[in-house]
Amino acid sequence: MLHLRIRVAALHALAKLNRDAHLETCALALCDASGKVAREAVLALSKKANSIGWRRLWKIYDNCPHPTTKRCALFLIARISKWGSINLLIQSLMNENDFCIELRRRYVARWFPRYNRTVVTPTPEQLSRLNNTLNRCNLLLDPGTQHQLESLLKSF
């Protein structure tokens, strides 16, 4: 138990002292077997999710076996740039593990009200990735969400 407290306190201190210099340490801590350490890492990274990058967050989400880690990575994925996040959130629905299916669906649904907060045009690469993901995952989305995304993509 003491080691757990030390790991949490050390991560907290690193984030407070110089978060930017310790992003890698915080990203590694997301995969910690302890949920407390992973949650502390999320606190440290929540405003810096784009600095970790969508590829790295997806790798953490996809490869770490701990449910807490998956929830933490999903939380951060929902906070990256809007066109990167929707693609990964939809991909997460393909995950066979049912432990947080409702959370994944909620993040996808939550994306739409937040969509118009910023005016960012997706890159051709982002559009291509999203189209590919939609083609693979279309049965996993409810018809309304599928239609909204297809309509949105037609406007670009």
Q: pLDDT, tens digit, for every residue of 75-133?
A: 999 999 888 899 999 888 887 766 778 888 888 888 887 766 666 788 889 888 888 88
Q: Are 35 and 57 within one domain?
A: yes
Tokens 């992003």 map to which residue?
A: 23
- For 51: left if phi > 0, alpha if psi spans -120 to 50, otherwise beta; the answer is alpha
Q: Are 44 and 96 within one domain?
A: no
At 1 the pLDDT is 52
Picking from 95, 88, 113, 106, the residue whose alpha carbon sits closest to that of residue 142 is: 106
Residue at 102 is within a domain: yes
Q: Are 55 and 122 within one domain?
A: no
At 9 the pLDDT is 92
Q: Are 13 and 42 within one domain?
A: yes
Mean pLDDT of 34-54: 91
Q: Are 153 and 110 within one domain?
A: yes
| Helix (H), strand (E), coil (C) string for the chain | CHHHHHHHHHHHHHHHHHHHHHHHHHHHHCCCCCHHHHHHHHHHHCCCHHHHCHHHHHHHHHHCCCHHHHHHHHHHHCCCCHHHHHHHHHHHCCCCCCCCHHHHHHHHHHHHHHHCCCCCCCCHHHHHHHHHHHHHHCCCCCHHHHHHHHHHHHCC
Residue type at 151? S
Q: Are 57 and 89 within one domain?
A: no
Q: Are 54 and 90 within one domain?
A: no
Q: Which domain holds residue 27?
A: 1-69
